[in-house]
Amino acid sequence: MKVILINGSPHTNGCTHRALLEVANTLNVEGINTEIIQVGDKDIRGCNACGYCHSGNNGCVYDDIVNEVARKFEQADGLIIGSPVYYASANGTMISFLDRLFYSTTFDKTMKIGASVVSCRRAGNTATFDILNKYFGISSMPIVTSKYWNQVHGASVEDVEKDLEGLQTMRVLGRNMAFLLKSIALGKSQIGLPIKEQPLRTNFIR
C-alpha cells in the first residue's frame, strides 16, 4: 500500500513538511509506503475550464507537476494534502494544484482515502482544514481524522517541534489512516466496492 503526501508550502523543509513527515514516519512504521511530493515552490497556474481533460485527452492541457502527481495518485491508496495558512485559507499555489489535480483526473477515486494537514502560526487553521477536505468529499474518498483537527502551530520548524500535541495529532492521524487503509483493502476483497450509479447533473435555474 502507498500514500502520497503533498507539501503545498513554498518552504521545502518548513513547518508543513515537518507535520507531513510525522505522519509519513508513522505510516512507515505501520507498513505503509509513503512519498512526500513538494509542489508549493512550483509555478502552477489555475484551471481555466478549457475542457481538454474531459474531451478524451489524458490529463491536463498544462503538462506540469499536476499530471506527474496525477499518475501517482491513480496508483496510490491514499492522499494527504498539507498547506500553510494564508489569509485564513490554503495558499494559492495549493488551491490551483488541487483544482486541476481533482478535475483533470477521471479515474475512480472511490475508497481511496484522504486527509488534510494544516500548519499555521496562530489562526485560520480550521477554515483551511475545511477547504482542503472538500476535495475528498466530492470524490467518494473517506476522510481520515485524528484526536484533534489535523494541525500544527508555529512560525518555524523549531516551534512545531515544541507543539507536542500537534505532533501527537499527526501520529494518531497516521495510525488511523493505516488502519483504514487495511480495513478498506479487507472490505474490497470480502465485500467489494459500493455499487456505482450513473452520474446525474442538475443546474439550479428557473
For 153-173, the pLDDT digits (tens) are 999 999 999 999 999 999 999
Specify the CATH number for 2-190; select among 1.10.10.10, 3.40.50.360, 3.40.50.620, 3.30.70.980.
Answer: 3.40.50.360
Share of the chain above pLDDT 90, in %: 93
Q: Judge whether 65 and 8 are in contact, CB under 8 Å.
A: no
Residue 88 has pLDDT above 90, yes or no: yes
Q: pLDDT tens digit string along 27-65?
A: 999 999 999 999 999 999 999 999 999 998 889 999 999
Query: What is the pLDDT, as a whole number, of residue 204?
Result: 80
Distance from C-alpha of 27 to C-alpha of 25, rounded to nearest angstrom: 5
Residue 176 — very low, low, confident or very high, per pLDDT cuts 50/70/90? very high
User: What's the chain's average pLDDT?
Assistant: 96
Residue 183 has pLDDT above 80, yes or no: yes
The residue ranking higher by pLDDT, 105 or 201, is 105
Give buried/exposed letters for 152-189 (b at 16+ CB in 10 A, else e).
bbbeebebbeebeebbebbbbbbbbbbebbeebeeeee
Query: What is the pLDDT, as a whole number, of residue 201?
Result: 85
Query: What is the pLDDT, as a whole number, of residue 172?
Result: 98
Q: What is the β-pairing status of strands 113-120 and 78-86?
A: parallel
Query: What is the pLDDT, as a whole number, of residue 206?
Result: 64
Q: Which pairs from 63-72 meet CB under 8 Å and 24+ separation?
A: 65/37, 65/39, 65/97, 66/97, 66/100, 66/101, 66/104, 67/104, 69/4, 69/6, 69/37, 69/39, 69/97, 69/101, 70/101, 70/104, 70/105, 72/4, 72/35, 72/37
Whole-model pTM: value is 0.94
